[in-house]
Amino acid sequence: MAKTSHHQQAQPAAQRAATLRDAIDDANYRYYVLDNPAIPDAEYDRLMRELEALESDHPELATPDSPTNRVGAKPVAGFAEVRHAIPMLSLANAFTDTEAPAGVDPEHEVRDFVRRVEQGLGIADPEFAVEPKFDGLAISLRYEAGVFVQGATRGDGTTGEDVTANLRTVKAVPLRLRGKAWPTVLEVRGEVYMPKAGFDAYNARMLREGGKPLANPRNGAAGSLRQLDPRVTASRPLAFYAYGVYLPPDPDAVLADRHSAAMAKLRGWGFPTCPQSELVRGVEGCLGYFAKIGAMRDRLPYGIDGVVYKVDRYDQQRELGFVARAPRWAIAHKFPAEEQATVVEAIDIQIGRTGAATPVARLKPVQVAGVTVTNATLHNADQVARLDVRVGDSVIVRRAGDVIPEVVRVIPERRPPHAKPWKMPTHCPICGSAIEREEGEVAARCSGGLVCAAQRRETIRHFASRRAMDIDGLGERYIGDLIEFGYVHSIADLYTLALDDFLEMKRRAEERDGAIPDTVKAGKIASKWAGNLVEAIEASKATTLERFLFALGIPEVGEATAKTLARHFGSLEALMQAGEADLTEVSDIGPVMAGHIAAFFAERRNREAIAALRQAGVHWRESAPQRRTDGPLAGRTVVLTGSLSTLTRDNAKDKLEALGAKVAGSVSKKTSFVVAGDAAGSKLDKARALGVEVWDEARLLALLESHGS
């Protein structure tokens, strides 16, 4: 009786499990093979959870080809050996090594290969199946009666490692085949790889969580697949594509009459194949394909290290046969290696035009992807610390496409004794000003914005710009010439320039550019031009404090902040004397910005440059600070959040400040009240959490009105 009832319950469960498995397999197929996802991730997860629950309630329903196996089995102590039913051969390279040896032209090798194929077959322009060579790990997958039973690494070609449990977690590897007419035993060869997007996302997550990032997608794929804990493999973004097939035990048995047709069959059974694969004819077809893939290499969603040419027809492959253990009918045409090892001779910092200090590794010169590399960027101090690069270290340098060469990793076993961890220098190598790094910011920067030669061009361009000192006509080109010919070393020098200086500079620039010699007419035009510039520079001397502050180019200080600072402090002296703590008191100024402002004015060289500008005649009308300390709202701190319907926020702020209130940018226990308009966000939440009074707009208007505002 009990047996019957169990049977009656299990029947629908078994059907449901089959339905779920079909739906999940179908979703994988659409995602990995057709590249056309059919259901959202959330739906996929829901199906998976339902199947897991079903299999845990009915353990007898669990099967080795169930997608629930993809979450990863229990860790193992080591990998068993697998003897390949048919050896996994490696292809000959058009390069004999990672980099073409001197005098060996890979294109020449490809031409030789095609000529040998043509001679061997006695035909011209044979057909080649061509595809990119993925940068991953070669594997072999065995299917029996349509079910995945074993997966192995290449190993030495004869014997590999059994990584079946890990391969089950790779969703692009089908656990059972679609369709029907598959052979009893099928061995599929292909590459497990880590797509670039998955690699980037994984590394970003590792950096966020303090984990260890992967060196590159290739190592990522190989390392992930050789984990003893399959659950670790399951957490890695791995993909797979098929590039070969065998029907053991007969090494000569074929699925179709040609490779391309066999690949189409595999695709139908649920194996991803390379979407960039093509059929070409002859050597020109091969080399044309190489050029095409090379041009799109950086845009491909996966890393490749070359392309592979294979004679498409199986009968022709058999006719050509093998030499040693490599096929005569296929060759890999590799791109020049993008990574090389070399030695770090020094670590310097480079100051960018906005003052950012970037650590740069000075390298023992090395050829990478056909170019001699002597420097590689280390991006920032965090990156140096993460890689732990030290002077004297051997490192792997990478140069891909047009990207600036970078240090990828250190080779720890080659570290010389006594190598010391690197520290960001305390002073700018160009101008000697202090190097500052605000808390929470990645970049360190030279604080000598007004005096640093590395920043000079950008500093003067910004200083002269329309919204700053508004020196009409002094564009980037002339600024460059003034610097190049030594007329200007700092912004104050602009105010020492005379008409003749501009004319002389122009003449020298024309000489340099090979421009036509002077004529009377050109001389008149030049005089007028120089006269206008001298006038514009003179006119810029009369300015306002807010313009002047903006013109100084203090990091993070834009026009709005310059205005706030000018109004709050009233005079430059008051601002320069303000400490970081005073600055954070100003509304809209956070701790990072306050740090930048304080560091800027703390630098003696900047103060000297400002003094020189005032000495040269730059002036403005100083005013008393606008913050009243005696108004009816004196001593009260107000925070505005959300949008008000009758007032702009600036407007409301002006009115409150006119009555003596302080309008702050963030809510604290000291806040007297928060005015919340529409769509008020986190500030309102914080006010509530701290128990700070919250006002609506009407109440604010009533208060302003009661004080005649």
Binding site for Zn ion (CB under 5 A): 428, 430-431, 433, 446, 448, 452
- Report the residue number, 433 or 641, with the smaller CB distance to Zn ion: 433
The two beta strands, 92-93 and 330-334, are parallel
- Report the residue number, 129 or 451, with the smaller CB distance to Zn ion: 451
Measured CA to CA, the distance from residue 460 to residue 354 in angstroms comes to 11
- Report the residue number, 336 or 448, with the smaller CB distance to Zn ion: 448
- Report the residue number, 224 or 490, with the smaller CB distance to Zn ion: 490
Largest CA distance in the chain: 118
Nearest approach in angstroms of CB 359 to Zn ion is 15
Decide if 304 contacts 221 (C-beta within 8 A).
Answer: no
Residues in the chain, overall count = 709
Nearest approach in angstroms of CB 428 to Zn ion is 3
Two tokens at 370? 């056909």
- Report the residue number, 455 or 637, with the smaller CB distance to Zn ion: 455
Residues 6+ apart with CB under 8 A from 235: none
- Report the residue number, 428 or 664, with the smaller CB distance to Zn ion: 428
Nearest approach in angstroms of CB 613 to Zn ion is 18
Measured CA to CA, the distance from residue 554 to residue 598 in angstroms comes to 10
Nearest approach in angstroms of CB 395 to Zn ion is 27
| Peptide bond preceding 37 in cis form (omega within 30 of 0) | no
- The radius of gyration of the chain from alpha carbons, rounded to an integer in Å, stands at 35
Nearest approach in angstroms of CB 357 to Zn ion is 8
Measured CA to CA, the distance from residue 263 to residue 256 in angstroms comes to 9
Measured CA to CA, the distance from residue 112 to residue 106 in angstroms comes to 10
SS3 content of the chain, % helix, strand, coil (to 5): 40, 20, 40
Measured CA to CA, the distance from residue 604 to residue 451 in angstroms comes to 10
Nearest to 79 by CA among 192, 165, 168, 163: 163
423 assigned to active site:
no
Nearest approach in angstroms of CB 427 to Zn ion is 8
Kind and range of the H or E run holding 572: helix 572-577
Nearest to 481 by CA among 452, 454, 461, 455: 461
Decide if 80 contacts 228 (C-beta within 8 A).
Answer: no
Measured CA to CA, the distance from residue 386 to residue 374 in angstroms comes to 22
Nearest approach in angstroms of CB 607 to Zn ion is 15
- Report the residue number, 368 or 430, with the smaller CB distance to Zn ion: 430
Is the Cα torsion angle 177, 178, 184, 187 positive or negative in sign? negative
Residues 6+ apart with CB under 8 A from 575: 549, 565, 569, 597, 601
- Report the residue number, 349 or 676, with the smaller CB distance to Zn ion: 349
Nearest approach in angstroms of CB 449 to Zn ion is 8
3-class DSSP state for residue 166?
helix
Q: What is the DSSP string of 382-431?
A: HHHHHHT--TT-EEEEE--TTSPPEEEEE-GGGPPTT-------SB-TTT
CA-to-CA dists, residue 218 to 224, 291, 339, angstroms: 10, 23, 12
- Report the residue number, 354 or 367, with the smaller CB distance to Zn ion: 354
3-class DSSP state for residue 631?
coil
Is the Cα torsion angle 174, 175, 178, 183 positive or negative in sign? positive
- Report the residue number, 433 or 543, with the smaller CB distance to Zn ion: 433
3-class DSSP state for residue 671?
coil
Q: What is the DSSP string of 466-530?
A: TTTT--TT--HHHHHHHHHTTS-SSGGGGGG--HHHHHHHHHHHHHHHTPPPP-HHHHHHHHHHH
Measured CA to CA, the distance from residue 367 to residue 279 in angstroms comes to 34
- Report the residue number, 428 or 575, with the smaller CB distance to Zn ion: 428
Measured CA to CA, the distance from residue 272 to residue 172 in angstroms comes to 7
- Report the residue number, 195 or 355, with the smaller CB distance to Zn ion: 355
User: Which of these is catalytic: 3, 74, 133, 364?
Assistant: 133
Nearest approach in angstroms of CB 452 to Zn ion is 3
Nearest approach in angstroms of CB 351 to Zn ion is 5
Measured CA to CA, the distance from residue 250 to residue 481 in angstroms comes to 76
Nearest approach in angstroms of CB 600 to Zn ion is 12
Residues 6+ apart with CB under 8 A from 635: 660
Residue numbers annotated as active site: 133
